[in-house]
Structure 1
Amino acid sequence: MTVKNKILLPFLGLLFLTITISSQNKKGYKIEGKNVTFIFNVNDYPNIKNNGDPIEYVCVSGEFNEWAKDRWKMNKVSDTIYELHKDLSVFTSDFDWEFKFIVNGYHWAEPSDDFENIVDARDYKGHRLMSYNLKLYSAFATDYGNVTFKLKGYKDAEQVILSGTFNRWDESGFKMKPTENGWEVTLQLKPDIYQYKFIVDKHLWIIDPQNPSKVENEYGGYNSVLDVQKKVTFKLCDYLDAKTVILSGDFNDWSEEDYKMTQVEDCWVFNKNLSGGKYQYKFIVDGKWITDPANSIKEYDNDGNINSVCMVK
């Protein structure tokens, strides 16, 4: 496995990560930077194009809005194209969502057969929807991604698929490309801990032989493990007369001595690599515990103490 853009893997030395989503394009949507654009092209949906009813409005309906039929109305940009722009921050959790388009509040758009990103779907009540829909993943394949997965050998294989928790173990999504030494694919991944395997010719599931980090799965076998971490800079400004400032949090078992901060100009600074998630922390200034005065996000812990909160995405 090869890492780009300063990714931290569990079996490599400490490196820093900067995530920048470049672009992802599939029928039905595209992702550019921090935005997702839903795109409805009536020519992609034979049941809408051929039913003879005029299109009054088109909406995006999915897990993210409880399959609402009229909440996310799209903008008409041409006679056949409708678009809706959304910030990626709207999509919580792991940004793994199923959705489809609905016309005039009652015609579900059924994709044509050449859609690659279609899945069987059910609404929030568990009812099966009329046909197929589209699916978004937070992880996507791109030559400009930050993690390159490589599998040596298996040159006689017809295909090799990368599958893992980053795409809900999809068995067809990330097709690896043949190389001189084997197979590879590059993904863009946000900070998190992932499990994955390679699927050779649809039937042989194998762990990554180049990655010693693995975990036992529910089938009595193992999955390879990848820890993508992000560099977080903790900063406490002023307190220039302090002799010692310590960073303490649930990421270091609230140690009172491990993370000594360094004075840089008018602030105390400490850099820490963290996986995706929520962390509580405080500063210890010459023995006195304080919350981060520059961070308004705070919450109580189980002992009733108020701590600052850091979210890593």
Structure 2
Amino acid sequence: MLLGSVLSAQPPEGVKYKIKGKNLSLGISYDAAKLDSVLESIGFTRDLMDSLVKVNNCQYVSESGWEFIGTFDSVCVFNKPLNKLAGRNSSGIELFVVDNDKSNRFEYETRAFTNRTFFANSFESKHRQPVKGNTFTVWLPGHKNVRHVYLSGTFNNWSMQSNPLHLTDSGWVGTINLKPGVYAYKFIKDGDWMTDPLNKHIELDPSGYTNSVMAVPNHTFELSGYDAYKNVNLAGTFTEWDEVPMDKTPWGWKKDVYLKEGVYSYKFVGDGSWFLDPANSHTQTTHDGYVNSVLMKGEALMLKLDGHQDAGEVLVAGDFNNWAWGELKMQKQDWGWEFPYIFSEGNYQLGFRVDGRFRLSSYYPLIKGKNTNNLLTVHPNHTFLLKGYADSKQVTLTGSFINWSEPGIYMQRTADGWKLDMYMPKGKHLYKFIVNKRTWILDPEGLWEENEYGTGNSILWME
């Protein structure tokens, strides 16, 4: 079985595979030079790979003798009987065969854990302080008859040999330094993949396999006192108001979590009773009249609306606060109105109400679909460019990332064409340009694939 992410940019170095019977499971993530040698070893030629990339049709490969299994989150999966593969190939890349056991499974993680808003670790109590600072300590009790144990996960591109554990009197132990964030991982025990038995948080990946999930925290919620409570939980917009148990301390309660930048409402829940954070004076009243504590994590960005000097009240809302009008009242300035708000990276739709009437700001591009709103992009990581079309009155961008809304997002005219800065998450995105509201065109500088209408879609891969 062959797994390969097509049309990607420079992929991370590494190769993962498993032989089961006469079939090979291979996760390709080598650079082009090394990939040639690996593919040649298993009869998957570079010409075939190039054809796959150009056509971007996974089923094309089946014509060459490979059985097309399916596509899983932009990863094409193929199967073909192979002879036993081991030793070194022509490039000197070391390949090894794991035991041919039914319990062995090839794991290929595709979920983007970096997009998590919130995560709280949940380990067995006997595994004390698995995460301290930026250091993650793993412990696999027992298994003293095992020869090798490795730690593999999203933090090392699922490498099978980069992070070996060492055997102690109590089992296998290892450490790895990580930046704050959320990570998936597993142990590899003499070739067998297994989840962490001391980690309660297990998730399925898109292929249906289980992974252990942990986080390096970047924020601590603290509550002093309240010793009379048997249990104290934390709940907020970051958990969709689901309750997360806090940890008892000698001085009260606390919870170390990973929390993405943004503005959040939250409360504590003591034995079923909801109450505000007594150490936080920042509160916000919802349109339903509920009062919540407010946490602002990150650097504030100033939202702006020009003009309207005679207005009595100006409000701002968007998908970042579920369009809750009335919560964010803007402050008047000499030039217009402003309001500070903290965002994580992304694209946000927003609008303004001036004395009850909906208005848009000239500071942000427009996005049109069923409704017309402003579009705010925070920490853009990609620029869409279309050269030429100087005589066009307008050019817009639409794609899978905005559900193909028409006419889409209005691009900015430049000296040699049109441009739009956007934040694009990891993965595959389809898009097109629309010229003067009528003419849909492919990106002449980009990759493309065929669609059901025979007109094609441009493709953007973000690594």
State the TM-score bracket (shorter-chain normalisation).
Answer: 0.3 to 0.5
TM-score when normalising by structure 2 = 0.33
Q: Which structure has the larger Rg over C-alpha atoms?
A: 2
